[in-house]
Amino acid sequence: MTEAWRERSRRWTAETLSAAHHRPPEQQPRFSTISDVEIERLYTPLDWQGPRAGGSGPTAVDHLG
Protein backbone atom coordinates (compact mmCIF):
# COMPACT_ATOMS: atom_id res chain seq x y z
CA MET A 1 0.00 0.00 0.00
CA THR A 2 2.80 2.43 0.82
CA GLU A 3 4.27 2.31 -2.68
CA ALA A 4 0.83 2.78 -4.21
CA TRP A 5 0.28 5.95 -2.17
CA ARG A 6 3.71 7.27 -3.13
CA GLU A 7 2.82 6.73 -6.79
CA ARG A 8 -0.56 8.45 -6.35
CA SER A 9 1.12 11.42 -4.68
CA ARG A 10 3.74 11.63 -7.44
CA ARG A 11 1.04 11.44 -10.12
CA TRP A 12 -1.07 14.12 -8.38
CA THR A 13 1.96 16.43 -8.25
CA ALA A 14 2.83 15.81 -11.90
CA GLU A 15 -0.69 16.09 -13.31
CA THR A 16 -2.97 18.09 -11.03
CA LEU A 17 -0.56 20.43 -9.29
CA SER A 18 1.46 21.28 -12.39
CA ALA A 19 -1.77 22.15 -14.23
CA ALA A 20 -2.79 24.45 -11.37
CA HIS A 21 0.47 26.42 -11.65
CA HIS A 22 -0.84 27.98 -14.87
CA ARG A 23 -3.54 29.72 -12.84
CA PRO A 24 -3.03 32.78 -10.64
CA PRO A 25 -0.64 32.07 -7.73
CA GLU A 26 -1.79 30.89 -4.31
CA GLN A 27 -2.96 33.60 -1.95
CA GLN A 28 -0.02 33.01 0.37
CA PRO A 29 3.35 31.32 -0.15
CA ARG A 30 2.86 29.33 3.07
CA PHE A 31 -0.26 28.12 4.85
CA SER A 32 -0.25 27.26 8.56
CA THR A 33 -2.48 26.61 11.54
CA ILE A 34 -3.03 29.12 14.31
CA SER A 35 -0.15 27.34 16.11
CA ASP A 36 2.09 27.97 13.07
CA VAL A 37 2.19 24.31 12.02
CA GLU A 38 2.68 24.33 8.26
CA ILE A 39 -0.17 22.89 6.20
CA GLU A 40 0.92 20.83 3.21
CA ARG A 41 -0.83 20.93 -0.16
CA LEU A 42 -1.89 17.28 -0.04
CA TYR A 43 -2.06 14.71 2.75
CA THR A 44 -2.10 10.95 2.22
CA PRO A 45 -2.10 7.98 4.61
CA LEU A 46 1.72 8.16 4.46
CA ASP A 47 1.54 11.33 6.60
CA TRP A 48 -0.10 9.49 9.51
CA GLN A 49 2.18 6.56 10.24
CA GLY A 50 2.32 7.11 14.00
CA PRO A 51 -0.28 6.58 16.73
CA ARG A 52 -3.63 8.25 16.31
CA ALA A 53 -5.73 10.07 18.85
CA GLY A 54 -8.74 8.22 20.19
CA GLY A 55 -12.36 9.18 20.62
CA SER A 56 -13.20 12.74 19.74
CA GLY A 57 -9.87 14.13 20.90
CA PRO A 58 -7.27 15.95 18.83
CA THR A 59 -5.83 14.26 15.78
CA ALA A 60 -2.23 13.12 15.51
CA VAL A 61 -1.47 16.20 13.40
CA ASP A 62 -2.58 18.46 16.28
CA HIS A 63 0.21 17.04 18.43
CA LEU A 64 2.93 18.30 16.07
CA GLY A 65 2.47 21.92 17.11
3-state secondary structure of 8: helix
Sign, CA torsion 49/53/55/58: negative
pLDDT score of 45: 78
pLDDT score for 43 = 78
pLDDT string in tens for the chain (65-residue length): 688 888 988 898 888 887 777 777 767 778 888 988 888 877 777 777 766 655 666 666 665 65
